Amino acid sequence: MNVLLVEDENAAARRLEKMLAEVEPEAQVVGRLDSIESTVSWLADNPEPDLMLLDIHLADGGSFEIFEHAQVRCPVIFTTAYDEYALEAFKVNAVDYLLKPIKSMN
C-alpha cells in the first residue's frame, strides 16, 4: 500500500508514520508533504497513492483547497485537532476522520 502523508508538524508526521508501520508493515510512505502547494504538485507528477493521510490545517491554508486544484480519487483519512470539519471532510474522499492526538491501539 502506497500512502501519501500530508502533515505540517514534524512530530505528528513521525508519529503517524510510526503508527502506520505498526498497523500495516507493508505500507510505504511515498511522499511526506507539508503544504497545499506541494501536495497539488505531487499529485500532478506522481501516480495516485492508495491512501492519503491529510491534516486539515497546513502551513499555507486549509487542506480542502487541495480538492479544488487536484483530482483526488484515493481514500483520504483526515487527521486534525478540530472536530468542526468532519462533515466537510466526508463530502470529499474521506473514509475516516481522526482527532489529534492520535493514539496507538497498542
Q: Are the C-beta atoms of residues 101 and 84 closer than 8 Å to each other?
A: no
CATH number (3.90.1300.10, 3.40.50.300, 3.40.50.2300, 3.40.50.720) of 2-99 reads: 3.40.50.2300
How many other C-beta atoms are found inside a 10 Å radius of the C-beta of residue 19?
A: 16
- Cell numbers for 29: 510512505
Q: Is 33 left (phi over 0), alpha (psi -120 to 50) or beta?
A: beta
- Cell numbers for 42: 505531487
Supply the mean pLDDT for the chain: 91
Say which DSSP state 80 is in: E
Mean local confidence (pLDDT), 65-69? 96
Please state the domain extents for the chain.
2-99
- pLDDT for 104 equals 65
For residues 19 and 25, give the distance between their C-alpha atoms in angstroms, rounded to a whole number. Answer: 10
- Provide, rounded to the nearest whole percent, the portion of the chain with pLDDT above 90: 74
pTM of this prediction exceeds 0.75 = yes
Q: Are the C-beta atoms of residues 76 and 94 closer than 8 Å to each other?
A: yes
